[in-house]
Amino acid sequence: MSTQPALPSWITWWQRPFPDANTLLLPGRRPGLVDTGFVGHAEETAAWARAHAGNIDLVVNTHWHSDHVGGNAVLQARGATIAAGAPEAEAITRRDPGCCAAEYLDQPVAPYTADLALDDGQSLRLGDGDWEVVRTPGHTPGHLALWQPDERLLVVGDALSDYDVGWVNLVLDGLDAATTALASLKRMAGLAPRVILPSHGPIPADPATAFDVALRRAQRLVDDPDGAIWYGARRIFAFALMIRGGIPADEVEPYLTARTWLTDAARLLDVAAEALANELVTTMLGSGAIVLRDGRLHAAADHTPVAPEALRVPYPRAWPATEPR
């Protein structure tokens, strides 16, 4: 039976259920944290990091989706520098309304500032080790991986996991986004890492096999754009159910048809938004991805509850202007 690869003693890994991304902590001379989970669990993230490493000096986000940047605001208020891939860091600095795709996806993100824009090949000190930034666009345009060559550790964000690949947004990022994601996977596979550290799920026991599976699945997204759109829609809807504790069954269709991501998907698929919403619910119920319980639709995947008040943060279009730090 395969076992998880050994991790160095100088890193701390926290595998977390949805809606939080897994978190990598690097204690040492420059305590660092990679990804900060969902806003609804920000205080828990900050308390965990402090208990294991003291004050965090640097936070690195693999990308800006809500399950990766939710603790940024809390940690930044306590002195941490926030670093992100250059395209996303620059958009956050400009306060673009589309930041984090928060409004588009209806996934709340507390306001924060990107202090450091990261680009390909840049070296970063995290904890007591040096890591190399590897640009891996596809899941988002600013998505990045982190490579530690001495131990051959690779932080892959949402590019792949032990069971899946990240969804791609063909509307916002263009019809070639799936091809871009596939190229990024090939680049990462070429590093031949000893350990893959994904943002969701367990650490893969066999990195080479994990890449083989991911490359095949990513190729399918390239070959079947309609399938890629459906894949993204299922992931976004399941996440919405997770962070809201489910949605009443009689409110699901109006909720979905009010979402830009769904109406965009319907346009690309050349179907009515109402028809897509109905088919999405029907197919996900049929597959067991969502369940009907006490009059509400819930995501079936394991996830941690979120307090409703945690979702009451402004969309980026209403974030305060950035201030020099």
Report mean pLDDT in 10-residue bins for the chain, 325 residues: 84 98 97 98 98 98 98 98 98 97 98 98 97 98 98 98 95 95 98 98 97 98 98 98 98 98 98 98 98 98 97 97 73
pTM here is: 0.97
For domain 12-223, the CATH superfamily is Ribonuclease Z/Hydroxyacylglutathione hydrolase-like (3.60.15.10)
Q: How far apart are CA 265 and CA 153, in angstroms?
A: 36
Query: What pLDDT, on the 0 to 100 scale, is given for residue 217?
Result: 97
Q: Is 274 exposed, middle or buried (0-12, 13-18, 19+ CB in 10 A)?
A: middle
Instruction: Give the model's pLDDT for residue 325.
Output: 55
Say if CB 281 and CB 297 are below 8 A apart: yes
Which residues in the chain belong to E strands, given as ranges?
12-14, 23-26, 32-34, 58-60, 81-85, 116-118, 123-126, 129-135, 144-148, 153-157, 195-198, 247-248, 290-293, 296-299
Query: 124: which strand partners?
Result: 131
pLDDT reported for residue 2: 62
pLDDT of residue 323: 73
* Count of residues making up the chain: 325
pLDDT for position 322? 86
Please tell me the predicted confidence (pLDDT) of residue 163: 87
User: Can you say how many angstroms the Cα of residue 38 is from the centroid of all Cα atoms in its chain?
Assistant: 10
Q: Cα separation of 174 and 288, whole Å?
A: 30
Which residue type, as a one-letter code, is found at position 41? H
